[in-house]
Amino acid sequence: MVYGERFTEALVYAARLHRDQVRKGSGVPYVTHLLVVAGTVGDAGGSEDEVIAALLHDGPEDQGGRETLREIERRFGSRVAGIVEGLTDTFETPKPAWRARKEAYLAHLPAASPSVLLVSIADKLHNARSIVSDVREGGEAVWSRFRGGRDGTVWYYRSLLATFRLCPVPPRLLEALAAAVADLEAVAVDERRGAKG
């Protein structure tokens, strides 16, 4: 498969949309996350629409809500916009309570389309790996970046893994997420012991 002009436009649009945004606490430009997720989707055999949706999946939630979703539909079509909408856990500003949003996201996954599931597991895989890496490097203080803290974050990723096990996702990505969640649990235990010591 060769990506066309829509993919190039999506790359530029995503870079502009998130140009002032960095990953929590790390200072890494946020667009790097979008590129990793899009690459993971592409490596898993995703279509051009799915790869484009991966590039744009955080746009409405972080940069403009439903207005941004409408712009995505105008530029890239209803299929891409539908995938992005299925990946968005809120359009509201300020965001509703963290736990309620995460529970609602988990509840909607079993009925989500294969395209939404593919981009979602790629997104959560990179997030989990990034958290593990950040905790290993930065220690206990890293957990304060997350609204759910250490325990809530571990609960969420365990729950995501359990939910994805019931869904039609690529086995390779499911195995990778399982390994990432095991690493997340391990660093959480290590940090808990360190905090007590």
- Residues carrying an active site annotation: 61-62
Question: Residue 168 and residue 35: Cα distance in Å, rounded?
Answer: 23
The residue with tokens 């399982």 is 178
The Cβ-side half-sphere exposure at 102, using a 13 Å CA radius, reads: 16
CB contact at 8 A, 123 and 54: yes
**What is the phi-psi region of residue 69: left when phi exceeds 0, alpha when psi lies from -120 to 50, beta otherwise?**
alpha
Could you tell me the sign of the dihedral formed by the alpha carbons of 47, 52, 53, 55, in that order? positive
